[in-house]
Structure 1
Amino acid sequence: LFSFCKAKEDLLNELKFQGILYSDLPQLASDMPYFPPDEEEDNFEEGIHLVVCVHGLDGNSADLRLVKTFIELGLPASKLDFLMSERNQTDTFADFDTMTDRLLDEIIQHIQLYNLTIHRISFIGHSLGNIIIRSVLTRPRFRYYLNKLHTFLSLSGPHLGTLYNSSALVSTGLWLMQKLKKSGSLLQLTFRDNTDPRKTFLYLLSQKPGLQYFKNVVLVASPQDRYVPFHSARIEMCRTALKDRSTGPVYAEMINNLLQPVIEAKECTLIRQNVFHALPNTANTLIGRAAHIAVLDSELFLEKFFLVTGLNYFK
C-alpha cells in the first residue's frame, strides 16, 4: 500500500498535473452486478434514452461496441436504446456537411422506424465523429430534440482541428491522405478549406449553438495521442497558438465560442478527463495511433472509466 501511494505521488509530481486519480474517489459510479435485474421494467411510457454512437475517420459501426457493452453491463435496468451509426462508414473522407446529412437522416429514420418515444438523447463520438455530432445539433430538423439532449461523451475529438499538431510525422501523413483521397473532412480539420480562417468550417461551426444544450459535456483526451492534439480534444489553448500572431487569435475566438455558452448554461456541466494508457513499445505507440484507438479497444480503460465515473453520465 505504501509503495502504491508513493508511486501515485511520484506520478502526479512528474506530470505537474492538478487533478484527481480514480483510486482516490470515495465511491464508484456503479455498485450493481454485471447481470440483468430479476424483473423487467414495467413500462416504457416515459420513453427511452437513445444513445447514438458515431465512429471516426475510416471507422465503422463496430468501433464503439465495447463502449456500448460496458454501459449496458453497468446500467442493466436502464431504458437504453443504442444506434451504432453506419451511414458514413463507407466514406468518412467526404466533407462534414455531407456526413452531417447522412447521420441526421439515420437518427430520424431510426426513431421513426422503431416508433420510439424519446425521453433523452446522448451522443458518444470518437475522433472525427465528434465533429459530425456537433454539426447535427445545428440543423433545423434536429431542433425538436435539443431539449432532450443529455450527455455528450467525446473520445479524442478534434474540436479545434489538427492545426497545431505536435507530430510532424502525423501532420505529413494526414496531408498525404487528404491529397490521395481528396478528402473534404481532412481539409476542413486542417483549416485549409478557406483562405480566411474565420470562414473555415470549424470556425463557423464554433459560432453555432450546440454543446450548451447537454446536461453533461465530457471531453476525454490523452497526451499520448498524436493523431488528435491534446488541447484540441480538451478545447483549450496551447503554447504554439499563443505564439502564433496570425492564426492564434482566431484559435482563441473558437475556444471562447465553444466554451462560453457552456459556462453560462446553468444546467450544463463540463468535465475533462485525461487518460494515460499503459502502452507497449510499438510503432503504433510511437506515432500516437495506439493511444488514439485505446479509448475504443482497451477493456482495462473502458471498464475503469465507466465503473468509476462514466456511468454517472448515462443514468
Structure 2
Amino acid sequence: MFLIFYKAKEGLLREMSFQGALYSDLPVLASDLPYFPPEEDDEEFEDGIHLVVCVHGLDGNSADLRLVKTFIELGLPGSRLDFLMSERNQSDTFADFDTMTDRLLDEIVQHIQLYNLTIGKISFIGHSLGNIIIRSVLTRPRFRCYLPKLHTFLSLSGPTWERSTTTARLWLMQKLKKSGSLLQLTFRDHVDPRQTFLYLLSQKPGLQFFKNVVLVASPQDRYVPFHSARIEMCKTALKDRTTGPVYTEMINNLLLPLVEAKKCQLIRQNVFHALPNTANTLIGRAAHIAVLDSELFLEKFFLVAGLDYFK
C-alpha cells in the first residue's frame, strides 16, 4: 500500500515539475500528541493560563474562527488554553477603529475579571479587519500591563492597508454602510495620509512585544492583497509617487521594531488553496474565507507548523 502511495506521489511530482516540499516529506510534525488523550486530573498551573483571543473580520461574527479554535485544542490536548471568541463588535463592524478597539479591550478585561483568570500568556488570532483592531488594542494604556505576557500574533489575511484593490466593492460597501472603518482602511479619513489612523497606528509599538508574529497570506486572495497581508512593498506602491513613500514608511514603522526585537520572530506563511471555479473564486473571496473554513488547510497548517506557536 505504501509503495503504491510513494509511486503515485513521485509520478505526480514529475508531472507537475514541482520543486518544493510536501507535508508528507517532513520527518517531524508540530505535535506528536494524540487528538484524544486519556483523561487526566486537573492540575494547578502556577504560571497561569494561556489566553487566546480570536477576532473576526468585517461583517463577521464570533463563530468565524471556531475551526481554528477546534484544531488548536485537538492538537494541544491537556494544554491550559482559554479561548475568548470575541463577539462585542459583531453587531457593527462598520464603526470606526477607535470604537471597535474600545469594545474589544473592554471584552478582554471583563473576561479576565469575570473568570478571575491568572494570565501566563496572551495570544491573538485575527482574520482580515480583526487584525487591525488587535494591533490597536496593543497601543492602549489599559492593556500595557499585559504586554510582557504577549506570546503569538497569528494574522489570517490581515491587511496593512487598502488603497486601490477591490475599489468597486469597498466603494459600494462604503456608500451602503457609511462605514468609518472602511474610510480609515482606504486612507480617506484625513487629507494628509500621514495623519490617517493606519499611518499613526504603524508608528505605535505593539507587534514587537510578541514572541511570534505569523502572517498568513494567499496570492489568490483579492480582498486583502498578498503584499498587504505580508506587510511588504508592491510594484504599484513603488510607482506611486504620492502614496508610495507613505506606504514605505508604514512598512518600515511596522517591520524595523520586529527585526530589532531579539525575542521576536517574524514568520510569513504563503497559502495556495485548491478552489473550485466559481464566482467567489474569481473575485478572490473564496481564498479570503478559506483560511477560516477549509478543514484541509487548517489541519495541515496547525499540525505541520502552527501548533508550535501556541505551546
Coarse TM-score class (shorter-chain normalised): over 0.9
Deviations 1:267-313 (A, max 9, x none): 00000000000000001001000000000000000000000000000
Letter in structure 1 aligned against 2:131: N
**Within 5 A, what are the aligned runs for 1:1-315?**
1-7=9-15, 10-11=17-18, 22-159=23-160, 161-165=161-165, 170-315=166-311
User: Residue in 2 aligned with 1:16?
Assistant: none
User: What secondary structure, in the 3-state scheme, does the structure 2 residue paired with 1:276 have?
Assistant: coil
Q: Which structure 1 segments of 5+ residues have no match? A: 13-18
Query: C-alpha separation between the residues in 1 aligned to 2:43 and 2:12?
Result: 46
Change (3 A) 1:191 1:22: farther
Task: Tell me the CA shift for residue 3 of structure 1.
Answer: 1.6
Deviation of 1:176 (Å):
1.2
Change in 2 beyond 3 A, CA 1:122/1:273: same
Q: For 2:210, give the aligned amino acid.
A: F
Other structure's SS at 1:294 match: helix
1:24, distance to aligned residue in structure 2 (A) = 4.2
Shift of 1:37: 3.6
CA distance 1:299–1:140, change in 2 (3 Å): same
* C-alpha distance 144-173 of structure 1, shift in aligned 2 (>3 A): same
Deviation at 1:32, TM superposition (A): 1.3
Which residue type is aligned with residue 231 of structure 2? Answer: I
Deviation of 1:27 after TM superposition, in Å, equals 1.1
Question: Do 1:41 and 1:77's aligned partners in 2 also have CA atoms closer than 8 Å?
Answer: no
Q: Given residue 10 of structure 2, which amino acid in structure 1 is its aligned partner?
A: F
How far does residue 164 in structure 1 lie from its aligned partner after superposition?
4.1
CA distance in 1 between counterparts of 2:21 and 2:42 reads 36
Q: What is the aligned partner in structure 2 of residue 15 from structure 1?
A: none
Whole-angstrom distance in 1 between the partners of 2:69 and 2:242: 42
TM-score of the aligned structures, taking structure 1 as reference length: 0.94
Shift of residue 4, structure 1, vs aligned partner: 3.3
- The letter for the 2-side match of 1:171 is T
Cα distance in 2 for residues equivalent to 1:308 and 1:97: 36
Q: What secondary structure does 2:289 align onto?
A: helix
Question: Identity of paired residues, percent?
Answer: 83
Classify the secondary structure of the residue corresponding to 1:236: coil
For structure 2, the residue ranges without an aligned partner over 5 or more in a row are: 1-8
